[in-house]
Amino acid sequence: MSFVAPDKTCSKCPRLLAFRAQNEAKFPTYYNGPVEPFGSLSSEILIVGLAPGLNGANQTNRPFTNDYAGDVLYPILKKFGFAQGNYQKKKNDGFELINVRVTNSVRCVPPQNKVTGDEVKACGAYLIQEIENMPNLKIILTLGSVAHNAVLGVLGYKKAGFKFAHNTTHWLENHHLWMVNSYHTSRYNINTGVLTEEMFEDVIKNIQNLLKK
């Protein structure tokens, strides 16, 4: 199977389609479509977020780019050797990921940054294709409980058996994969102290150790 990303004609989710039409009128210079993943399919690590930000990935067509969450995520990845170049909040800034791919549970920007279960399920077809087309995949890092549940859903695991908690590691035996949880690197989580940069760095250190196993 080859990986096929949703294109700009995707109409699986009526609510997101309507919101896209509003944004095309309001922000005609934005990408306004299902955001493409960032990073190579040959990577050993897949980071799964929630959904594009209105003025972030929805504008730039690169996950977490021009978004506060990316201001936290990408410099820390670079600090630990998982990226190179200068992150400048735009798709063509030359910033590159190393052994990491970044995607989202839902590929289109949702109103109020909130997705529905049906939208996560609809985009699950793309998420499972992505996972299945990463031959070297060892670790999935889920940013937030929505991403955590989305990954469990597409892989066929019961949520009750894998409780989400920050920097928790789960062994997905049927797929020979590690799943690591982290609070999302959102502005809200950082500003409220739910997540600190040091806490997120600990998650990346955990992933580094898992790669050695």
pLDDT in tens, 83-115: 999 999 999 999 999 999 999 999 999 999 999
Token pair recorded at residue 27:
């922000």
Stretch 35-42: mean pLDDT: 96
First vs last Cα of the chain: how many Å apart?
A: 28
How far is it, in rounded angstroms, from Cα 29 to Cα 190? 29
Beta-carbon count within 10 A of 88 CB: 12
Beta-carbon count within 10 A of 154 CB: 21
pLDDT in tens, 132-164: 999 999 999 999 999 999 999 999 999 999 999
The gap from C-alpha 69 to its chain's centroid, in whole angstroms, comes to: 11
| 3-class DSSP state of 38 | strand
Beta-carbon count within 10 A of 73 CB: 26
Angle at 74 between CA 71 and CA 76, to 5 degrees: 100
Complete DSSP assignment for 161-174:
GS---TT-EEEEGG
Sorting pLDDT into bands at 50, 70 and 90, what band is 5?
Answer: confident
DSSP3 helix / strand / coil % (the chain, rounded to 5): 40, 15, 45
The single-letter DSSP state of residue 29 is: T
Beta-carbon count within 10 A of 172 CB: 16
In sign, the C-alpha dihedral spanning 172, 206, 129, 187 is positive
Q: What percent of the chain has pLDDT over 70?
A: 99
**pLDDT at residue 122 greater than cutoff 80:** yes
pLDDT in tens, 152-196: 999 999 999 999 999 999 999 999 999 999 999 999 999 999 999
pTM for the whole thing? 0.97
pLDDT in tens, 45-74: 999 999 999 999 999 999 999 999 999 999
How far is it, in rounded angstroms, from Cα 179 to Cα 177? 6
Q: What percent of the chain has pLDDT over 90?
A: 94
